[in-house]
Structure 1
Amino acid sequence: MAEATREVTRDTTREEQLLRSAPLFGGMDVASARSLMEKMTRSDVSKGDTIFNEGDDGQALYIIVRGKVKLARTARDGRENLLALLGVGDMLGELSVFDPGPRLARAHAVEDSTVYELPKDVLDEWLDTHLEMSRPIMRALAQRIRRASNTMADLVFSDVPGRVAKAILDLGHRFGRMERGHIMVRHGLTQEELAQLVGASRETVNKALADFASRGWIDVHIGSVEVYEPERLRARSR
């Protein structure tokens, strides 16, 4: 029983640390962070489960402490467009919380995940008594806008191989692990989803991946990629 209690305590402490890595908690002292965490609801989400749907009312934001979640939109003809792949420490659903309106995307788990939910009304009430915490939240929203602006610039100014190289580097930075002297990136995406992420056709993206592999820069597997020459990819992404 004592060992089980220690294990639960370790898991709770680790999840608290992961929560505090989210932009929402940037700059908060321990007491303030814990007071907000106590108002959040923890949920385990199975692979493939939907967290929220496009068009839903935005009544809560979420922070991921385990697993991966993808955001996608559906076109009028039924095609899906992958907007982002999110992982531990990432926040989702915050735009509809701060700008009330329907969800602009659907969020579902790429793998078994754990998220913490913070309802809009709870956050609004908490901010009324913690006005100093508005600054890190504004910073997080500004970072989201900056990423969106960079993505738009890439679509205009970069060719497909350059965007693929940049996407691999970004996924490696966020999800990569050093294994046997190189970077193993287990992203969990299909090649179709990777193509959606860079805004290109699957055939064009596959051609770029095959070219990188033939040069010895990467090795492609189902749901993952091994990166051997990150500097080569970085030069190609510019």
Structure 2
Amino acid sequence: MVDETNEVLGHAPLFEALDEEGGAALRASITEVRLGRGQTLFSEGDEGDRLYVVISGKVKLTRAAVDGRENLVSVLGPSEMFGELSLFDPGPRTASAVAVTDTILAGLGHEDLRPFVYGQPEVAIVLLKALARRLRKTNDVMADLVFTDVPGRVAKALLDLADKFGKEGEDGLHVHHDLTQEELAQLVGASRETVNKALAEFALRGWLRIEAKAVVLMDVERLRRRAR
């Protein structure tokens, strides 16, 4: 398990920015966190003092509306990082983190991270790049909600999930996203019925095949064109 953890961490941007000695020092301060499917790591509004890297499994970040509706912000997999915002801007968590599957995380306390941030500019740059990517993603989502129809957003969401979790097979690109129909709808920002209608249309056209908490993308290029 140690070798697997070190391999996954080695692909995380934070650890890629460190030399071997620095990476070993930071790994020594890691706390392993194990979550069962559906278990909450932290909730929106909680105080944040740790950054996390996904070792195995999937984690979803969600935000709740005033009326109780939930928006699925993103789904994260191995080597992806979250929780870094409060390192630069201490305050309440801006989203809830919930395990989509059984999950193992590497937790890094901000007090352990700060010496690396202050002493090695490349580490700070990596973390700031992560925040910039999140801001850019937020801007893209907002633009899609205004300018892109639901089928286009569904196509784009499937392609994003494929980039993270897709595995090539003889019959297409297998994407085991592990999301329920409701969660997929929350990710797209539409009703479950509308999203299911878009998926059924794509399946009818032969672009994909729907499976339990998964899809097989058989015509990625058509989906890319539909996502534009």
TM-score category by the smaller chain?
A: over 0.9
1:196 and 2:186 matched: yes
Question: Which of 111, 118, 121 is residue 111 of structure 2 equivalent to?
Answer: 121
Question: Displacement of 1:14 after TM fit?
Answer: 2.3
Q: Which residue of 2 aligns with 1:49?
A: 39
User: Quick check: 1:130 aligned with 2:112?
Assistant: no
The match for 1:37 among 27, 40, 43 is 27
Q: Does 1:24 align with 2:18?
A: no
Contact 2:116 2:123 in 1 (8 A): no
2:187 and 2:133 map into 1 onto residues whose CA distance is 18
Q: 1:125 to 1:27 in 2, by over 3 A?
A: closer
**Alpha-carbon deviations, 1:131-163, whole Å to 9, x = none?**
342222222221221222222221222111111
C-alpha separation in 2, matches of 1:137 and 1:65:
18
Residue deviations 1:35-54, cap 9 Å, x none? Answer: 11111111221111111111
Where does structure 2 lack aligned partners over 5 or more consecutive residues?
none
Q: Does 1:162 align with 2:132?
A: no
Matches within 5 A, 1:1-238: 11-238=1-228
Normalised to the residue count of structure 2, the TM-score between the two structures is 0.95
**Equivalent residue pairs, number:** 228
SS of the aligned residue for 1:32 comes to: helix
Show structure 1 runs of 4+ deviating over 3 A: none
* SS of the residue 2:190 aligns to: coil
Q: Which moved more, 1:33-42 or 1:131-140?
A: 131-140
Deviation (angstroms), 1:122: 1.4
State the AA in 1 paired with 2:154. V
User: How high is the sequence identity, in percent, across the aligned residues?
Assistant: 49
RMSD of Structure 2 on Structure 1 (CA): 1.4
SS at match of 1:143: helix
TM-score (norm: length of structure 1):
0.91
